[in-house]
Amino acid sequence: MIKKRSFKAGEVLLQEKSLGENAFIIDHGRVEVTERVGDRDVHLAYLGSGDTCGEMSMVDDKPRSATVTALEDTKVSEMDHDGLYEALQTDPEVAIGLLRALFERLREANTRIQQLEAASAPSRSTEAKPEALPTVVIEARTAEAKTALPGGSCTIDRFPFRIGRVSHNPLVHNDLELSDSIPWQISRHHVAVIVQDSRVGIVDRGSHLGSKLDSTRIGGEHAPGPVFPEGAESTLVLGTNDSPYEFKLVIKRG
C-alpha cells in the first residue's frame, strides 16, 4: 500500500541505525542524506523530486545506513515491504523506479570501491549547505554536442547530476539524456556532476569509453575519479579524446 506523507523542514524521515520496512519516493521538496562519523554528520547526498530513499532497508531488513532529513517542506509517497511486493505485480512504474534507484546505488558503490582500491578518493567531509551550493552550466561546444543537448545548454543546481545517453530502457536513471548514434561515444550511464567539500567534480558511472576533463582522462580504462576542475571553466569530452561530444562547464558561485 502506498500512502502520502508530509514533513516540515528539519524533520527526520529516516534515522540512521533504526530498523524499518518502508521507503519514500519524494514527490515534492528536498532532503539531505547524512552519515554519522565519529562526532560529526557527514553529508552524502541531496535528493529531490523523483528520488527515493530507504529502499535498501526495505529489501534487506538491515538497519538504516544513513539519516534523511527534510531541508524544506517535503511531500513523499511511502511504501512498505508489502506495498513493494504488490507494486511488483500491479504497478510497474513504481516498481521500476525503485529498481532503478537500487541499480544506481550499486553503481555508486562500485565506483566508491574502485576509488578506495586506487587510493585516489579524497576523504569525505561535510559539504556546503544548500544555500552555498554552486551552479554549473554545461554548454555544447561542437555541432554534434549541440544536437545531442536540447537547447545547447543546461543549468545544474542539484547534485549528484547524472548524465548519460538517451535510452528506452526504463531502468536507466539520468537527469540529463544526450542523443548519440552508432558507434556510441556516450554510455547509458556515463558521468555525474557532484559536489564534494564544496568543490564541483566529475565522476565516471561505469562508461565504456570514459571521458576527458581538461587534460585528465577518467572512466573506461582509467580511474573513475572524481576529478575536480582547477578554475571556473573547464572542457568535458564524453568518449574518446577525438569524440565530437565536447562541452564547456562553467561553475558559478554565490
Chain CA centroid to CA 155, Å: 15
> Matching CATH topology for 2-90 and 130-252?
no
Own/partner long-range contacts of 248-252 (Cβ < 8 Å, ≥24 apart): 248/138, 248/139, 248/141, 249/136, 249/137, 249/138, 249/193, 249/200, 249/202, 250/136, 250/137, 250/138, 250/139, 251/134, 251/135, 251/136, 251/200, 252/134, 252/135, 252/136, 252/137
Domain 130-252, architecture per CATH: Sandwich (2.60)
pLDDT at 189 over 80: yes
CATH number of 2-90: 2.60.120.10
Query: Could you read off the pLDDT of 203-229 as tens digits, one per residue?
Result: 998 899 999 999 999 999 898 889 999
Give the per-residue pLDDT at 47. Answer: 86
The reported pTM is: 0.62
Give the per-residue pLDDT at 129. Answer: 47
pLDDT at 39 over 50: yes
Parse the chain into domains and list their residue ranges: 2-90, 130-252
> What spatial distance separates the first Cα and last Cα of the chain, rounded to whole Å?
43
Query: Could you read off the pLDDT of 131-168 as tens digits, one per residue?
Result: 467 899 999 999 999 999 989 999 998 888 999 999 88
